[in-house]
Amino acid sequence: KGERDALVARAEEFAASRYAVALHRGAGLPEGEREAVARELAGMLGLDVGFVLDSNLRVSASAFRKELLRETGKTFGRFDARMVGYDAGKLGGYPDYDASYNLIYGAYASTMNDYVRRSLGFESDLPYEILTGKVHPWNYDGFTNKFVNVAGDVASSVRTNRDLRYFIACGHYDLATPPAAIRHTLAHIELPDGARDRFEFGYYEGGHMMYTNVAALAALKRDLARFIGAR
């Protein structure tokens, strides 16, 4: 844990300084500096320097999940990087599937289908589906030709409601919404003085759904109970 936290702190410092500058300079980055940044990034990710350079210093989460364990034929999860899966072959740029999603899909779907019918008494022939493609096409009204970003809505909610507080639960092994990315987003929204104190973070030994780890579930429950009861 201590070693992991030290690496995370080092990676965040690197991402906010030398790495950010290198990406900003693009083709204007001198070759020597490019190689130095690639070596540092490769060391943190456990990848070959050549792979990082061939990726133009931009290793996506999906490429990382495929490349790190490529020689073994294994990949690891997007929702939870602790979960390991096996691809059909070693070639390709991305994993065949998300191991962390496949491991929980059956339990989630069957439990929810049982709950809504047995406990809630809701009767329907429709199955409960998780991350289904049947809801497409998505409605992007308000975000046409833009990426979806609700950070402005979060900032507005805090400015207009002085009693509103946010609790943000983060899993250490979440590659879908990494904790540092959340903090980066919140650092760039406009808020009144003192308003940032109304955001509280909790960090857990798990992934995107940290509550699949029983110990993390207990810790999350305690933190949420304290947060709700604080006012």
Indicate if the pLDDT at residue 226 is higher than 80: yes
The pLDDT, as a whole number, for residue 142 is: 81
Q: What is the dihedral of CA 84, 201, 148, 138, to 10 degrees?
A: 60
The pLDDT, as a whole number, for residue 146 is: 84
As a whole number, the mean pLDDT across the chain is 94
The pLDDT, as a whole number, for residue 62 is: 96
Q: Where are the alpha helices (DSSP H) in the chain?
A: 2-15, 18-25, 31-45, 49-54, 61-67, 99-114, 151-160, 179-187, 214-229
* 3-state percent breakdown (helix, strand, coil) of the chain, nearest 5: 55, 10, 40
Could you report the per-residue pLDDT of 46-76, keeping only the tens digit for each? Answer: 999 999 999 999 999 999 999 999 999 999 9
Could you report the per-residue pLDDT of 92-121, keeping only the tens digit for each? Answer: 999 999 999 999 988 988 899 899 999 999
Could you report the per-residue pLDDT of 137-196, keeping only the tens digit for each? Answer: 878 888 888 888 889 999 999 999 999 999 999 999 999 999 999 999 999 999 999 999
Indicate if the pLDDT at residue 231 is higher than 80: no
149 or 207, greater pLDDT = 207
Q: Do 173 and 82 form a contact (C-beta atoms < 8 A)?
A: yes
Rounded to an integer, what is the distance from CA 168 to the centroid of its chain?
12
* CA within 13 Å, CB half, 231: 9
The pLDDT, as a whole number, for residue 125 is: 86
CA-to-CA dists, residue 102 to 6, 110, 125, 131, angstroms: 31, 13, 24, 12
The pLDDT, as a whole number, for residue 149 is: 87
Angle, alpha carbons 100-83-116 (nearest 5°): 35
CA-to-CA dists, residue 110 to 80, 116, 124, angstroms: 21, 10, 14
Indicate if the pLDDT at residue 29 is higher than 90: yes
Residue 6 identity: A
The pLDDT, as a whole number, for residue 145 is: 85
209: number of Cβ within 10 Å:
19
Q: Given pLDDT bands bounded at 50, 70 and 90, which one contains residue 80? A: very high
Q: Which two tokens stand for residue 165?
A: 């507080």
The pLDDT, as a whole number, for residue 163 is: 93
